[in-house]
Amino acid sequence: MADTWKRLEAFFATDIVRLPVDRVELTRDTDLYHDLDMEPGDIDELVRQWAVTFGVDLSAFDIHYYYPSAKLGIGSFLAAVVKSPFSNKARETLGGRSLTLGMMEEAMERGRWEP
């Protein structure tokens, strides 16, 4: 497990130009969106690159499961913003779900992504 974590850290270190990893201590709880300030499209690209690098099957991976707001049009997005103080679903749509380095480490060990 420690070896898997070291390989994952090394993968992120190679992408240091794009990521603020010099400002954030990488832990298993580090969230790609909230902690590393990555946009959903960039996260999707990075996860796919990571999967190729480590031979992880992504057939069960859907970026929109983690960041549903990424596929909203402007009208739907604004409606979710207005509803967010009153609706758990709207807050979840806007905030998404966590996608952490720990989840990536576990997928590396399994060889496949599981939501």
Tell me the C-alpha distance between 106 and 103, whole Å. 5
Instruction: For residue 27, name the pLDDT band (cuts at 50, 70, 90).
Output: very high
Average pLDDT of the residues of the chain = 78
Q: In terms of C-beta density within 10 A (0-12 exposed, 13-18 middle, 19 or more buried), how is residue 106 classed?
A: middle
Stated pTM of the model: 0.75
The string of DSSP codes covering 53-72 is HHT-B-TT--HHHH-GGGG-
Q: How far apart are CA 7 and CA 69, in angstroms?
A: 31
pLDDT one-digit tens code per residue, 55-108 = 999 999 988 888 765 555 556 555 555 555 555 655 465 566 789 999 999 999
